């Protein structure tokens, strides 16, 4: 099947065409730079950018694929989770396009798209696969029984997402938003064992087991206290060491729990995705542990990890090829779309 995928959950307006398991075109416009001076994504600015970019981005994706809208079998659009105003622009645009061209439309789950996209680089994945999705907004371990039919949550963050935690520490260190990439770069020059950064929930809280859940909200506080202590002693702040210790701690807890889940679910494949998986410490830790545990770690190129239209189009292909009915044309956006919900069903 040929599917046009449209993405507008946060600060990327993106569109792509996928044919079967092949990426035909992929266009991404980002409003990230417009948010930098505010230290985070401003929903109103992001929504406005989507409204400006929607038509040019979708037209370019079709043009690069050398297609007209009549050449696609279906359209898929992220229906959630994400910022309501942003989702509204993409979903309204996709509905208008689908309606006028007489094409079936699927309102899909953005997070499940991060899983689907790995097929473009590594091919189909086996049934009952584990997936680790880490981004600015999500940190989740999922069990993928069948990407078009059934996905379960195995674990999730109880507070902050990993990317959010990096961005908070980055702010503390004076790096501009988004701070994740700065921490990554400084971490390369530092000692990962220089300071103790808590690995949230490694043991599970007493009497309350969270074997596959994460907690990152304590990390920023721990780093902030440590810095205060050093400053009180009049010592210089070893920025590289802080970054290296933070990156090592977060990469370790994510990879260890992912491997443990693979073992419990008897999965020899781990799908990895989401914007945070651009992080080099996480990528190398996952590959290292994967090799030790006999798990095939499928972490795609960074351009496929960050938000894009290909992930949405690929999930659309999975749904079309599974014979799933399109979403009813009056489906709504869902800014808190549950992970178990792969797309907006038709009633
Ligand atoms: P969503 O949560 O909407 O799915 P996403 O998949 O696009 O979003 P982003 O929120 O864009 O993910 O992910 C970017 C996050 O990852 C930011 O918090 C950013 O700081 C962090 N990040 C990006 N590159 C790196 C890196 N190299 N090292 C560490 N963190 C990074
Ligand atoms: Mg983004
Ligand atoms: Fe995302």
What ipTM does this complex have?
0.93
Q: State the Cα torsion 325-329-331-332 to the nearest 10°.
A: 150
Task: With H, G, I as helix, E, B as strand and everything else as coil, classify residue 262.
Answer: helix
Ligand 1 pocket test target in 180, 190, 251 with most atoms within 8 Å of CB: 180
Specify the pLDDT at position 206. Answer: 54
Distance CA 275, CA 137 (A): 9
37 pLDDT band, cuts 50/70/90, is confident
Q: Compute, in angstroms, the gap from residue 308 CA to the centroid of ligand 3.
A: 8
305 CA distance to ligand 1 middle (Å)? 9
Token readout for 150 is 């059934």
d(CA 136, CA 32): 13
Tell me: the pLDDT tens digits for 271-328?
999 999 999 999 999 999 999 999 999 999 999 999 999 999 999 999 999 999 999 9
What's the token pair of residue 198?
Answer: 């808590």
For the segment 12-24, the average pLDDT, to the nearest whole number, is 98
Please provide residue 338's backbone torsions phi and psi, each rounded to the nearest 5 degrees: -65, 145
* pLDDT at residue 233, as a whole number: 95
The closest alpha carbon to 166, from 127, 137, 206, belongs to 137
Please tell me which of 139-153, 157-171, 209-223 the model is most confident about, judged by mean pLDDT: 139-153
Q: Identify residues whose C-beta is under 5 A from ligand 3, the ion.
A: 135, 307
What average pLDDT score do residues 37-42 get? 89
Pick from 79, 136, 254, 336 the residue to mutate for probing ligand 1's pocket: most ligand atoms within 8 Å of its CB: 136
Strand partners, 142: 131, 153
* Per-residue pLDDT, 202: 63
The rounded percent of the chain whose pLDDT value lies above 90 is: 90
> CA end-to-end span of the chain, whole Å?
24
Q: How far is the C-alpha of 73 from the C-alpha of 166, rounded, in Å?
A: 40
Show the 3-state SS of 282-325: HHHHHHHHHHHHCCEEECCCHHHHCCCCHHHHHHHHHHHHCCCC
Matching residue, tokens 């379960």: 152
Instruction: Report DSSP state, residue 236.
Output: P
Residue 201 DSSP SS3? coil
Q: Whose CA is nearest to atom 30 of ligand 1?
A: 180
Q: What is the mean pLDDT of residues 21-48?
A: 94
The helix/strand/coil state of 8 is coil
- DSSP type of residue 157: B
């Amino acid at each position: 099947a040929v599917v046009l995928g449209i993405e507008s959950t946060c600060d990327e307006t993106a569109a792509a065409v996928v044919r079967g398991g092949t990426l035909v075109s992929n266009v991404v416009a980002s409003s990230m730079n417009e948010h930098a001076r505010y230290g985070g994504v401003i929903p109103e600015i992001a929504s406005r950018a989507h409204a400006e970019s929607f038509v040019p981005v979708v037209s370019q994706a079709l043009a690069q694929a050398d297609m007209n809208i009549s050449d696609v079998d279906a359209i898929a659009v992220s229906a959630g989770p994400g910022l309501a105003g942003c989702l509204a622009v993409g979903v309204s645009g996709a509905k208008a396009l689908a309606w006028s061209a007489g094409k079936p439309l699927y309102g899909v789950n953005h997070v499940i798209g991060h899983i689907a996209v790995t097929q473009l680089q590594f091919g189909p994945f086996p049934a009952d696969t584990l997936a680790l999705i880490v981004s600015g907004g999500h940190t989740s371990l999922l069990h993928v029984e069948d990407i078009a039919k059934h996905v379960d949550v195995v674990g999730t963050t109880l507070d902050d997402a990993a990317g959010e935690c990096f961005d908070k520490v980055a702010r503390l260190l004076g790096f501009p938003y988004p701070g994740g990439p700065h921490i990554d770069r400084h971490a390369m020059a530092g000692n990962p064992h220089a300071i103790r950064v808590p690995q949230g929930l490694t043991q599970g809280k007493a009497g309350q087991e969270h074997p596959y859940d994460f907690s990152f909200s304590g990390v920023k506080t721990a780093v902030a206290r440590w810095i205060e202590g050093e400053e009180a002693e009049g010592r210089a702040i070893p920025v590289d060491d802080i970054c290296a210790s933070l990156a090592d701690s977060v990469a370790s807890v994510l990879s260890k729990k992912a491997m443990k889940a693979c073992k419990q679910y008897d999965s020899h494949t781990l799908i990895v995705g989401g914007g945070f998986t651009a992080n080099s410490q996480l990528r190398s830790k996952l590959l290292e542990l994967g090799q030790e545990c006999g798990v095939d770690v499928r972490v795609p190129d960074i351009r496929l990890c960050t938000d894009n239209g290909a992930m949405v189009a690929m999930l659309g292909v999975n749904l079309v090829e599974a014979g799933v009915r399109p979403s009813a044309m009056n489906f709504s956006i869902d800014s808190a779309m549950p992970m178990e919900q792969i797309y907006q069903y038709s009633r």
